[in-house]
Structure 1
């Protein structure tokens, strides 16, 4: 098969979607298929609205047998303001039924603005058997890829990775409404096939009109061999840590629950609870401002690592006693799988999608997003119950082995690709 994958970033840029696409693409390539990934030149996520963020300079490369083509992100004047203003305008117009979808797509093409990528799709004479796009909040890339597929009478597969939020119904809280705008939902419903990352996402789009026989729930997987070799003792010694450790591996942002986690641990310190906190991941400006306002004694007690390499990540997974990701903007949370692989219990937010990944009380705990006291109670419960931590961690590892390895999930995706390409019975 000749496969074209389209995504907002690709290795060496790291994120949940990026890891998902990389694992899938390299396995398809290893199976002998020709795989091309179209993406932007963003290394830092913030490049989409911040011109000074880091880029990947090489426009074309081959990574693990996958051809990667990168196209530059461009910016309107005053990009930090214009990017957010356009997204809010899109949200407002999408709620007005009289607004044509074509207007929404025209506005969305600037968020992010990648004219060279769109031009390549509009003019290339390369032929592909199947096109797939990932991450619905980058809908201009999805729309360009879908148009290319249908113009060439090829199936289009979508992995929306929709953040359905923590509201009373999926897609109804303030943040998730930016992932479920009318033109975004139409892109999903008009696709040949949907790979939903969790049951909540599948149910949401089925209610929006996508037939059940064009939907499969296939979460990401992990490669157990790539997660071996963590040395927690080495990391503890490096930072002089003894006693229980809570770790977070994610982008440091409010919607990810990073500020709430720090405040929960500060609450426990005030109670006299002995606990360390390690934060690892890209630090966004909003979190940096919060961090700079913290009292110096509290800042000095938290290990803020920023972006880390793979070995440090493994050491961190081995060192921690609890993994916390109390986020309302994750559609799955691959880091939960990675923590469970190391038999560590997890704490997540009571959010749509996440509730189908973490079984509350069995392999982790779920707390209301933004509820610092509830988060502190969950951490303290696990700290004070080593046997419960062990039971939850073991339950999580069993779940990973039974449901979430790539040996299990990759064939499910590959077989749908084959059916779309060779049997033609799943086309739009």
Structure 2
């Protein structure tokens, strides 16, 4: 099968969708011998879609682990111009505000639709909403008479991003829609999408790199001693709850003053706010916080093994690959009772749930794990078993391919 994936970023770009499409593409090549091409941008992350000052990758063609990759240059200046007008239109709920939001979010990629239309592939699949390239993929596929599968990554709590009727209109025009969880699938169906055109595929992790690392080895690598470590490992963004975690830790430190806090992720614009919060802490607390930016994929298993409790108090997740990565390292997790996360974490079995932006509840959950290390270990081990049985990239790629095979049947082509 010849497959064209269209997505906002591809390794070395960082993000959950970026990793998902990379690993699914590689598995389709490895397991099934499919010919997979990825059309993507030359940005390292979504901030590059509207910030022309950020560094870029080189546009052009390359091959990575058997996957053909074409990076298109993004015109971020147009999106930058629309950033302020869309805020005003959104605040006033003007009728055209969803279109301004789409332009402001980007990525604006000249020539993308034409390139999709002309590219020889059996199926075109695009990830993820609310970004502009999704419409180029849908229109390019339809105008060239080929099936289009959309993978949205929708988390409805993000009103700015996902309360847009044009998203659900596009999904209704696609051949199939792929959701990460049943929660997302049910939401899309509520928006009028036919249930028989919606499939749950999940996300995955590679458990092998996590198999032969000890916590002592990992802690030594990052300069920790044997004291407990609470960790956040993921993208630094306003909705990810890093600020709430810092506030919660001021309560935790009253009971466990020697606990270390590890904050690891790509350095984004929000990271400056995180640093300001840290600098406002008492000096004794500041010494307990370790910031670790822009780590490599090879370091990721070490980071997860270095922590004793993984706290990821995000409010907007279509799944949360970071939970799987923590479980792959047999770590107990704390997430928020928001969006798809309760469909990922089985509360009291492999993790705990707290209210979003509730620092007191988050602190209580962290303290419970620190007080009951054997219970925390039991939950972490249960999480690892769930990963091995349901959430490896090999299984997730099979889920994607089953939908692709169904989509290219002649009676499914629109």
Q: Return the TM-score normalized by structure 1.
A: 0.89
Contact 1:91 1:181 in 2 (8 A): no
CA RMSD of aligned residues (A): 2.3
**Is 2:198 aligned against 1:215?**
yes
| Partner-residue secondary structure (3-state), 1:148 | helix
1:85 aligned onto 2:84: yes
Residue of structure 2 equivalent to 1:183? 166
Deviations 1:180-206 (A, max 9, x none): 311122222221101110111100111
Once the two structures are TM-superposed, the CA of residue 224 in structure 1 deviates from its matched residue by 2.1
1:94/1:181 contact within 8 Å kept: no
Counterpart position of 1:9: 9
For the Cα contact (< 8 Å) 2:180–2:200, is it kept in 1?
yes
Q: Which moved more, 1:108-117 or 1:38-47?
A: 108-117
Alignment partners' CA distance in 2, 1:106 and 1:316 = 39
Unpaired runs of 5+ residues, structure 2, are none
SS of residue paired to 2:322: helix
* Residues 209-288 of structure 1 mapped to structure 2, 5 A cutoff: 209-237=192-220, 238-288=222-272
2:352 counterpart residue number: 365
Q: CA deviation at 1:114?
A: 2.5
Aligned counterpart, 1:26: 26
| Residue number among 134, 138, 141 corresponding to 1:149 in the alignment | 141
Contact 1:25/1:35 (8 A) holds in 2: yes
Pair 1:118-2:112 in alignment: yes
Q: Secondary structure at the match of 1:37?
A: strand
> 1:296-336: CA deviations, max 9, x gaps?
44333201001111232111211211111110122111111
Q: Deviations over 1:346-378 (max 9, x none)?
A: 000111111100111111011111000110000
Structure 1 residue 110, shift from structure 2 partner: 4.9
Match status 1:128 vs 2:121: yes
Q: Following TM superposition, by how much is the alpha carbon of 1:22 offset from its aligned partner in structure 2, in angstroms?
A: 0.5
Residues of 2 paired with 1:77 and 1:15: CA distance?
A: 23
1:133 aligns to what SS in structure 2?
strand
| 2:10 counterpart SS class | coil
Which of residues 311, 318, 321 in structure 1 aligns to 2:305? 318
Equivalent residues of 2:75, 2:110 under 8 A apart: no
Distance in 1 (alpha carbons) for counterparts of 2:75 and 2:89:
19
Partners of 1:161 and 1:78 lie apart in 2 by 22
How far apart are 1:86 and its partner, in Å? Answer: 4.9
| Matched residue SS, 1:256 | coil
Aligned length: 409
State the 1:397 CA deviation.
1.3
Q: Equivalents in 2 of 1:143, 1:86: separation in Å?
A: 22
1:39-77, Cα deviation, whole Å (9 max, x unpaired): 110014321222221211142111111111111122337
CA deviation after TM superposition for structure 1 residue 106, in Å: 7.5
Which deviates more, 370-379 or 410-419? 410-419
Deviation at 1:3, TM superposition (A): 1.2
